Amino acid sequence: MKRILVTGAGGQIGTELTARLLDRYGPAVTLATDVREPATWARSGLAEQLDCLDLGALRTVVTRFGATDIFHLAAILSAAAEADPLRAYRINMNGLVNVLQVAADTGCRVFTPSSIAAFGPETPRDPAPQSTLQRPTTMYGVTKVAGELLCDYYHTRFGVDARGLRFPGLVSYTAPPGGGTTDYAVEIFHAALDRSRYTCPLKPDTRMDMMYMADAIRAIIELMEAPSASLVHRNAFNVTALQFTPAELADAIRVHVPAFAIDYEPDPVRQAIADSWPERLDDSEAREQWGWRHEYELPDMVADMFRGLRTNLARHAAGAAGR
Ligand code: AKB
């Protein structure tokens, strides 16, 4: 029987993936972990504190729980990685190699996300092919390429069924992202509801590849449930959904918040990172090998973001009134 361990469960992907795993496979077989105390992030189900840099602790928890699948999400994102490259290297690389080693020793399957950041300025921009030049210029990108290679290595050398997706920027309303270059596409919605205006850290015409979280979570589950024999690019499948600029996103937001205003104060670090990534990934291999299809277009995503954020605000207001 499947028994699932999630690392980084309190983060942007982890929060929504854990909820989906609890629904799909049941609360008794899903253990959510994070380096922070569960009181600060856990919503329901089994949860505990775990630092995946501690190999012994990771091995103990995996063995005690009898995990069959590890969804390894703990990582430092692109802009935060540039602020402290050594810390990002340590967490992104040592965390992943520990997970892969424990998986090799215990027979677990592994999912871990890669990113559009695994590409660099020399990669074809539109679209970036599945197999192409990967010379990223950020520490986050370096750890993502190395992570893809580590997953390949553990698959061919030790038979670990390690799978992965190269995600573009992810947009969601449940938990905030932290330290990513694409975070603006989440912050902008909160700002639209709070004060009808936003100062964007990227130039208005910076076109980036993006995906709504509901599609991303479905992609993870579908990849992990795909028959092994159908997968050629087991790790690091390109997946994509939407491409838009901050100016285009602002126009789509004005459909819901007509008074919304945006101005631009590009942050040199984030702008340089965004400019080094492709505008769009070619995801035809994912479509052919395991049937990947995105569902949310820009207007659907924007409408669902406002629905979700307004529901959250109403819930907090009701909670505050009840106290
Ligand atoms: C980031 O902006 O760092 C992430 C990513 C594209 O991997 N959202």
The CB of 216 under 6 Å from ligand 1? The reply is no
Task: Tell me the per-residue pLDDT of 151-165, one tens digit each, with 9 for 90 and over.
Answer: 999 999 999 999 999
Q: Which of 212, 242, 220, 226 is nearest to 291 (CA)?
A: 226
Q: Whose CA is nearest to atom 7 of ligand 1?
A: 115
pLDDT tops 80 at residue 323: no
What letter does residue 103 receive in the DSSP assignment?
H
Query: Rounded to whole angstroms, how far apart are CA atoms 200 and 245?
Result: 11
| Residues linked to residue 197 through DSSP beta bridges, in sequence order | 261
pLDDT score for 253: 98
Cα separation of 127 and 110, whole Å? 28
pLDDT at 322 over 80: no
Residue 130, helix vs strand vs coil: coil
User: Tens digits of per-residue pLDDT, 21-71?
Assistant: 999 999 999 999 999 999 999 989 999 999 999 999 999 999 999 999 999
For ligand 1, the distance from its centroid to the CA atom of residue 257, given in whole angstroms, is: 26
Tokens of 319: 């909670």
Residue 288 has pLDDT above 80, yes or no: yes
C-alpha 322 – ligand 1 centre gap (Å): 38
CA 222–ligand 1 middle distance (angstroms): 21
Q: Mean pLDDT of all residues in the chain?
A: 96
Place 279 in a pLDDT band, splitting at 50, 70 and 90. Answer: very high
Ligand 1 atom at minimal distance to the Cα of residue 81: 3
Determine if the peptide bond prior to 201 is cis (ω within 30°).
no
Q: Report the share of the chain in percent with pLDDT over 70.
A: 100
Residue 276 has pLDDT above 90, yes or no: yes
Q: Is 169 in the pocket of ligand 1 (CB under 6 A)?
A: yes
Q: Whose CA is nearest to atom 8 of ligand 1?
A: 169
State pLDDT tens for residues 78-113: 999 999 999 999 999 999 999 999 999 999 999 999
Candidates 46, 17, 50, 14; CA nearest to 34 is 50
What residue's CA is closest to ligand 1, atom 4? Answer: 180
pTM of the predicted structure, to 2 decimals:
0.96
Report pLDDT digits (tens) over 111-148: 999 999 999 999 999 999 999 999 999 999 999 999 99
- Catalytic residue numbers, as ranges: 140
**4 CA from centroid of ligand 1 (Å):** 25
Q: Is the pLDDT of residue 308 over 80?
A: yes
Find out whether the beta carbon of 73 lies less than 6 Å from any atom of ligand 1.
no
Residue 129 exposed, middle or buried by CB count within 10 Å (0-12, 13-18, 19+): middle
